């Protein structure tokens, strides 16, 4: 392959279509602080995603940190080790102790059957991740949260546009957090959002992302600067024009991968999640013991051929130095997470990936030597 390909590549609109947005910003000189594009994008995303209230953020991580603050979460929070570091880091930034619970190997999401045993008197919330855009066991998790009086904040960084049982997955739990990073299905370069259930919660979140200011003289909390700029919001508005096509293209690539890899000995893929319209944000494969190469062997073999997959999520968060001393981080507590983390490779998937390249990738995986 002449040019290397990467696990993802952002889908950008034609540059000339962005110029008029920039001209408006240059004309009105409003660069940030809830400007016109910011307000328009919040509205447009609510409509597109099918939610009532949404607060834009500078990135998904600050949105996670703020979501925890907005609900005054403290003590211990149950979460997954099988995610990007930002999930658990958002807890540490709030002085909250993460308690890791193992995942269901079919979805790579928190196993709801393991949650109750991890609850202690200090537990205040559950922070699950819709990993790869696969919906969590939302009903079961809510049932547990209701019984024990816990809040649920979904890290929905991978779940833009995902529908479950015919509705957006983003209305589950108390809050959901999106990421619009360059590597995500819907990108504003950097960006994120919190989906809020009501106007009052959104207002508190809007204060928190603006240093806690409610007005010129009233500071309600030690908030942070989490505001999205007009540049990013304008780009988001333009991106929305193209999102349906982008999602469709991703789903086509996913289908092609699934078909081509179905019969490759030693390679398995995750089951299609039931009652879900996914966003094909990632395409993980699992390299089994009966494959001719180890996971890292195949990863390197692909790299040598210019195909840069990624081992999302390896290492596990629970193995990172700031977490590995926790009792919930012990390997015997997290067997499925370790199994997945040791065998996964996410293959390139993005709207601009040509089908011939998909075929080259699957051809190499089928015949690695
Ligand atoms: N929760 C979850 C579950 C998450 O996955 C994430 C982020 C967050 C929370 C936090 O949200 P943000 O604060 O990021 O909004 C990437 C991303 O940096 C990170 O956003 C993402 N998850 C994570 C899964 O992946 P890396 O270290 O793999 O990124 P990087 O720079 O190696 O990019 C991967 C490939 O994408 C590159 O090889 C090439 C391509 N790429 C990347 C960038 C940045 C481009 O083509 N253009 C680009 O601008 O972490």
Map out the domains of the chain with their CATH numbers: 15-239 (3.40.640.10), 243-366 (3.90.1150.10)
Provide the 3-class DSSP secondary structure of residue 329.
helix
Q: What spacing in Å lies between the alpha carbon of 281 and ligand 1's midpoint?
A: 12
Say what the pLDDT of residue 43 is. Answer: 98
CA of 155 to the centre of ligand 1 (A): 15
User: Candidates 84, 131, 341: which one to mutate for ligand 1, based on the most atoms within 8 Å of Cβ?
Assistant: 84
pLDDT of residue 369: 80
How do beta strands 267-269 and 167-168 pair?
unpaired
Question: Residue 156 C-alpha to ligand 1 middle, in angstroms?
Answer: 14
pLDDT of 254 = 98
- CA dihedral over 100, 130, 193, 173, signed as positive or negative: negative
pLDDT at 3: 85
Q: Whose CA is nearest to atom 16 of ligand 1?
A: 183
Check if 7 has its Cβ closer than 6 Å to any atom of ligand 1.
yes
Q: Is 86 in the pocket of ligand 1 (CB under 6 A)?
A: yes
Ligand 1 in reach of 83 Cβ (< 6 A): yes
Catalytically annotated residues: 184
Q: State pTM to two decimals.
A: 0.98
Residues in the chain: 369
Cβ atoms 190, 58 nearer than 8 A: yes
Q: What angle do CA 170, 60, 120 make, to 5 degrees?
A: 70
Helices (H), the chain: 15-28, 36-49, 60-70, 86-92, 138-148, 199-208, 230-261, 295-304, 335-343, 355-366
* Pocket of ligand 1 contains residue 85 by CB under 6 Å: no
Q: Residue 2: what pLDDT?
A: 67
pLDDT at 278: 98
Is any ligand 1 atom within 6 A of the Cβ of residue 131?
Answer: no
How far is the C-alpha of 338 from the C-alpha of 328, rounded, in Å? 13
Pairing of strands 307-308, 5-6: parallel
The beta strands (E) that lie in 121-234 are given as 123-127, 151-155, 163-164, 167-168, 175-179, 192-196
| 179 within ligand 1 shell (Cβ under 6 A) | yes
* Per-residue pLDDT tens listing for the chain (369 residues): 568 999 999 999 999 999 999 999 999 999 999 999 999 999 999 999 999 999 999 999 999 999 999 999 999 999 999 999 999 999 999 999 999 999 999 999 999 999 999 999 999 999 999 999 999 999 999 999 999 999 999 999 999 999 999 999 999 999 999 999 999 999 999 999 999 999 999 999 999 999 999 999 999 999 999 999 999 999 999 999 999 999 999 999 999 999 999 999 999 999 999 999 999 999 999 999 999 999 999 999 999 999 999 999 999 999 999 999 999 999 999 999 999 999 999 999 999 999 999 999 999 999 998
Q: How far is the CA of 308 from the centre of ligand 1 (A)?
A: 14
**99 in ligand 1 pocket by Cβ < 6 Å?**
no
**If you measure from the C-alpha of residue 181 to the centroid of ligand 1, how many angstroms do you get, rounded to a whole number?**
6
For residue 292, how many C-alpha atoms fall within 13 Å in the half-sphere facing its CB? 8
Rounded-to-integer distance, Cα 295 and Cα 289, Å: 9
**Best mutation site among 109, 154, 159, 181 for ligand 1 pocket (most ligand atoms within 8 Å of CB):** 181
């Amino acid at each position: 392959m002449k040019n290397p390909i990467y696990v993802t590549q952002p889908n950008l609109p034609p540059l000339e279509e962005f110029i008029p947005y920039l001209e408006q910003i240059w004309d009105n000189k409003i660069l940030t602080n809830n400007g016109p594009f910011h307000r328009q994008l919040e509205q447009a995303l609510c409509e597109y995603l099918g939610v009532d209230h949404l607060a834009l953020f500078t990135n998904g991580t600050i949105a996670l940190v703020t979501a925890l603050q907005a609900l005054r979460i403290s003590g211990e929070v149950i979460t997954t080790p099988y995610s990007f570091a930002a999930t658990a880091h958002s807890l540490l930034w709030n002085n909250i102790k993460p308690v890791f619970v193992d995942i269901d190997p079919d979805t790579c999401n928190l196993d709801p059957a393991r949650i109750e045993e991890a609850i202690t008197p200090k537990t205040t919330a559950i922070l699950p991740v819709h990993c790869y855009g696969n919906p969590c066991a939302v009903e079961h998790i809510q049932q547990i949260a209701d019984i024990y009086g816990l809040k649920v904040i979904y890290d929905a960084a991978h779940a833009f546009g995902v529908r479950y049982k015919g509705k957006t997955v983003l209305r589950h739990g108390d809050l959901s957090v999106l990421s619009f990073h360059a590597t995500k299905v819907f990108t504003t370069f950097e960006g994120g959002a919190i989906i809020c259930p009501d106007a009052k919660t959104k207002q508190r979140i809007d204060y928190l992302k603006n240093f806690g200011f409610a007005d010129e003289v009233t500071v309600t909390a030690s908030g942070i600067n989490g505001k999205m700029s007009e540049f990013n919001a304008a780009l988001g508005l333009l991106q929305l024009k193209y999102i349906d096509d982008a999602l469709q293209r991703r789903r086509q690539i996913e289908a092609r991968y699934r078909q081509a890899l179905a019969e490759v000995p030693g390679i398995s893929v995750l089951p299609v999640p039931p009652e879900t319209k996914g966003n094909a944000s990632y395409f993980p494969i699992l390299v089994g013991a009966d494959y001719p190469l180890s996971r890292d062997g195949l990863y390197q073999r692909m790299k040598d051929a210019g195909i840069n997959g990624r081992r999302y999520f390896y290492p596990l968060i629970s193995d990172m130095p700031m977490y590995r001393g926790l009792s919930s981080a012990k390997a015997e507590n997290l067997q499925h997470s370790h199994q997945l983390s040791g065998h996964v490779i996410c293959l390139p998937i993005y709207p601009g990936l040509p089908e011939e390249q998909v075929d080259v990738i699957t051809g190499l995986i089928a015949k690695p030597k």
